[in-house]
Amino acid sequence: MQKILIVEDEKAISGVLHSILSDELTEYEFVIAEDGLEGYKQIEKEDFALVISDIKMPKLSGTELLKQSIMLKPESTFIMISGHADIDSAVSCLREGAYDFISKPIDINRLITSVKNALAKESLKKENKNLQTENKTLKRKVNKKYQMIGDSPALKKIQDMIEKVAVSDARVLITGPNGAGKELVAHAIHNQSERARGPMIEVNCAAIPSELIESELFGHVKGSFTGAIKDKQGKFEQANGGTIFLDEIGDMSLIAQAKVLRALQESKVSPVGSDKEIKVDVRVIAATNKNMQKEIEEGKFREDLYHRLSVIEIYVPPLDDRKEDIKLLVDHFSGMIADEHGTAVKKFDDKAIDALKVLSWTGNIRELRNVVERLIILGGNSVSEEDVASFVRK
């Protein structure tokens, strides 16, 4: 049971406060301290949902009790009471962190209202703190899988962009070569956003046949085409309240592009074969390895859709442009692969790392990961420069 502390040197007043408030707040236990020093000792021993304190008291004044308690426990919530009320005392207490200031003779209705409001605020603060902790835990779990590894200037620039962009709902277009880490950027944006507790739905536009992409994105109703044996929810609807990641959007057909443009304009989707419109609240992040200006010039991608998607554009450079990250990436992949295989982490010596840095990585980080796994399997007790020369063909 949560507790409320009453700090008051006049027993008659503390008795009245206890009697009135305990009738109103039956879910709380009350503790009474007869002076400021005793009150401080109580606060040292345990946490209180609320402290109601007189200002003028022997041994330790209420003002000093407030100051010292907030230094000890910054989350403490105080309501101050004084028969010697003046504007300076009120302002001083509020500046020191008190929730409210009530003068004697006490207006009981005002006191009850203030106490209930203070407790409601304290409860909300705790709930928000719990949600923040839960959210951070969730992010840590997700980030372990989609962690961005490296300390190169190029990567730091991307991370700075992500931090700025994530807090908004702005659409983001991520560009760069295959295997460079565009998916990691998309997940980082989602994980650091207010939508992190919602779904992150991924769609590989290049892997879905053009005749099925519309059904995949917006869903369909039973009988709308051959093979539609039951209603199907689309990816946009699945992502409601969260983020949809349209990977390789440059490979999407022009017909599907038109439907996506409408969905972005109206925040509504219509399943294939249905006149029904479904309202969706979705943040869109897209990615492509193509030169979008060239695609637009050749009539393969709608310019109006491009401008809708690229409110913010983040370029992920190839690994050849950030080779200083190779050592950290190798260490990271070595740990991951050891976990997957249930073996000890195999060390790469410095010359092996230097040999990897000399190579050209056309497949980018994805290729590096595969090479690291190959060297761990085929190399010696520790991976050497000779192992790189023997087992990596370039």
Task: Give the residue from 301, 317, 333 where a domain finishes.
Answer: 317
CATH number at residue 352: 1.10.8.60
Any domain includes 131? no
Lowest mean pLDDT among 26-30, 38-42, 77-81, 143-147: 143-147
> For 217-246, what is the mean pLDDT?
91
**Does residue 284 sit in the same domain as residue 363?**
no
Any domain includes 300? yes
**Does residue 167 sit in the same domain as residue 310?**
yes
Contact status, residue 88 vs residue 95, Cβ threshold 8 Å = no
> For 194-203, what is the mean pLDDT?
93
Spatial CB neighbours of 1, under 8 Å, sequence gap ≥ 6: 27, 28, 29
Confidence band of 134 (pLDDT split at 50, 70, 90): low
Strand pairing report for 268-269 and 278-279: antiparallel
**Does residue 189 sit in the same domain as residue 328?**
no
Any domain includes 309? yes
Q: How many separate domains does the chain show?
A: 3
Any domain includes 347? yes
Confidence band of 140 (pLDDT split at 50, 70, 90): very low
Which position has the higher pLDDT, 227 or 354? Answer: 354
pLDDT exceeding 70 applies to what percent of the chain?
93
**Does residue 307 sit in the same domain as residue 332?**
no
Lowest mean pLDDT among 16-30, 42-56, 76-90: 76-90
CATH number at residue 99: 3.40.50.2300
Among 8-12, 97-101, 307-311, the range of highest mean pLDDT? 307-311
Q: Which element (helix H / strand E) includes 232?
A: strand 232-233
The terminus-to-terminus CA distance of the chain in angstroms comes to 69
Nearest 10 degrees: Cα torsion 326, 329, 330, 331: 130
The secondary structure of 328-342 as a DSSP string is: HHHHHHHHHHHHHHT
Task: Give the residue from 290, 317, 344 where a domain finishes.
Answer: 317
> For 110-117, what is the mean pLDDT?
91
pLDDT (0 to 100) of residue 142 = 47
**Does residue 154 sit in the same domain as residue 207?**
yes
> For 340-354, what is the mean pLDDT?
92
pLDDT, tens digit (0-9, with 9 covering 90-100), for 76-102: 899 998 876 566 776 788 888 889 888
